[in-house]
A = this chain, B = another copy of it.
Amino acid sequence: MTKIKIGIAALALLCGARLYADALPPAAPVPADNPQSEAKIALGKALFFDPRLSIDGTVSCNSCHNVMASGTDNRSVSVGVGGQKGGRSAPTVWNAAFLSAQFWDGRAATLEDQAKGPILNPIEMGMTSQAAVISRLKGLPGYVEQFSAVFGSKDALSYDNLARAIASYERTLITPNSAYDRYEKGDKKALSREAREGLELVTKLGCTGCHNGPAFAGPALPAGQGFYQKFPTYADSPYISKYQLDADKGRANVTGKDEDQHMWRVPTWRNVALTAPYFHNGSVENLAEAVRVMASTQLNLRLQDSQVDAIVAFLNSLTGEFPAQTMPHLPDSTNRSIVDIH
């Protein structure tokens, strides 16, 4: 038995019989310094959908984290301004509020920190500085008024407040009442027999040693304390070269530490059936193959097809209900354009 397997077994014992997760809570944790309010959420929603936060007016947060769908773009890697491609696959924004660290490598402690990144990334939204973002928003009276109403009049329109508003909106992006949640709450008919077999398998095989907690992404931890695991673990898995799973050093790129090589934040299983393609590089096209890859690289297991099907059936039971939302109407850009038009 390898160290990893012993670790997983020990964790299973610690957690007792309930290695898998509770139903998704109806609300996400809210930091003390950024309380929710209707007006702030509305502002954050407008900002989230506003392509004018990108240099040429073509990319919004929603472009890669499509909240009308899975919260992703269903691409291997996303496309930013000028058709540039990023290096990693966009994680879903749905239920991201339940994660204790953001980005694949956990380099942002909070949703607020995360929101500040892509806007200034030259291959994502391409704004040249925080000041350039604020200057642009100051040219839109609707935003000036909204920031002032939400954050008070003095220096209300700041990059920190922009991030606060976007994070507040994202904290509302929760998909309750999946088949699994209904099952967990007592509706034993909510899961098919195959899905129940899948649930038993992910528990027995050890998948839920890492994929546990409300988002099936690890235990609830203080903000910034991400739940990381090595991926891939078993170096001789044939999938590693097939899907170039070890080309990216993961968290080591952030910390510079050898022990963080190939360490990744455990991704959520919530709505995982809708977020293909899979893994940090989006190299695996479908969920069944992703299950085979994980069994091989993390557990040194080769699953039978019926086991894969059962696990996929269970993972499909984690697709939640997407709440109805109204569209924002973005503040008017009057008599002139405010983006780089050429």
Question: A-side interface residues toward B, CB under 8 Å?
Answer: 49, 51-52, 56-58, 63, 66-70, 73-76, 79, 81-84, 273-274, 276-277, 282, 285-288, 312, 316, 319, 322, 324-330, 332-339, 341-342
**Residues A282 and B341 in contact, CB atoms below 8 Å apart:** yes
Nearest-neighbour CB distance to chain B for A257, whole angstroms, equals 31
**Residues B338 and A74 in contact, CB atoms below 8 Å apart:** yes
Query: What B residues does A69 contact at CB under 8 A?
Result: 329-330, 332-333
Measured CA separation A336–B284 after assembly (Å): 9
Measured CA separation A81–B288 after assembly (Å): 29
Measured CA separation A333–B332 after assembly (Å): 34
Nearest-neighbour CB distance to chain B for A186, whole angstroms, equals 26
A73, A273, A312: which has the most chain B beta carbons within 10 Å? A73
**Residues A341 and B285 in contact, CB atoms below 8 Å apart:** yes
**Residues A334 and B322 in contact, CB atoms below 8 Å apart:** no
Measured CA separation A325–B324 after assembly (Å): 11
Partner of A68, one of B49, B58, B285: B49
Q: Other than the known A74-B337, A322-B329, what 10 A-B pairs have Cβ atoms closer than 8 Å?
A: A51-B66, A51-B73, A52-B74, A74-B333, A74-B341, A273-B335, A316-B334, A319-B332, A325-B326, A326-B326
**Residues B342 and A76 in contact, CB atoms below 8 Å apart:** yes
Partner of A341, one of B84, B277, B322: B277
Q: Known: A57-B73, A75-B58. Is A332-B274 also a contact (CB below 8 A)?
A: yes
For this chain, the copies found in one complex come to 2
A56, A76, A276, A341: which has the most chain B beta carbons within 10 Å? A341
**Residues B330 and A312 in contact, CB atoms below 8 Å apart:** no
Query: What B residues does A341 contact at CB under 8 A?
Result: 74-76, 277, 282, 285
Measured CA separation A84–B69 after assembly (Å): 25
Nearest-neighbour CB distance to chain B for A68, whole angstroms, equals 5
Query: What B residues does A339 contact at CB under 8 A?
Result: 74-75
Counting from the closest, the 10 A-B pairs by CB-CB distance are A83-B83, A286-B336, A74-B337, A287-B335, A276-B337, A69-B330, A76-B341, A325-B327, A82-B83, A276-B336
**Residues A312 and B335 in contact, CB atoms below 8 Å apart:** yes
Partner of A75, one of B312, B322, B337: B337
